[in-house]
Amino acid sequence: MSRLTKGTFVLIFLISIGLCGCQNLVPRDTQSLLIPRFHRSEIFGFLAGLGTTFAALPDLLAMLRRRSAAGINPRMAGITGVFQILWVYYGLLILSRPVIAWNLVAILINSLSVAAYIHFVNKEKANHAMK
């Protein structure tokens, strides 16, 4: 089994374990998730989330500009992405819009980083095989 396949299997296994605890996950106050009425704590939560969410963006942009995966560690993005899924779950439990919103964006950024890494590594392998 290849390293990527093992990693994918482990990720799916961890997510499925996390989802087993979601059986009774029903927000009690759904209006508070949709009505844009913010408390001071939510404003600070959004500001704090801004920094931590976009911390991975410079690496992604550098990789796209260089068109190379050199110097990038995909495990960092993968591990961070798994824990951000747990943060989204936690945000749903406590009904916190900042926690939910920022971690969904961060999951997207980390997923793009891992996908770009895989794309450029495969491209580099294909280029070396042709030579």
Does any domain span residue 61?
Answer: yes
CATH of the domain at 99: 1.20.1280.290
Q: What is the pLDDT of residue 24?
A: 62
Does any domain span residue 3?
Answer: no
What 107-110 contacts at long range (C-beta under 8 Å, 24+ apart), as own/partner pairs, is 107/81, 109/53, 109/54, 109/56, 109/57, 109/60, 110/56, 110/77, 110/78, 110/80, 110/81, 110/84
pLDDT of 69-122, one tens digit each?
Answer: 887 787 887 788 888 888 888 888 888 877 888 888 888 888 888 888 888 888
Does any domain span residue 34?
Answer: no
Q: What is the pLDDT of residue 63?
A: 84
Domain containing residue 53? 39-130
Does any domain span residue 2?
Answer: no
Does any domain span residue 69?
Answer: yes
Does any domain span residue 9?
Answer: no
pLDDT of 4-60, one tens digit each?
Answer: 566 677 767 666 666 566 556 555 555 555 555 666 766 777 777 777 778 778 888
Count structural domains, the chain: 1
Does any domain span residue 10?
Answer: no
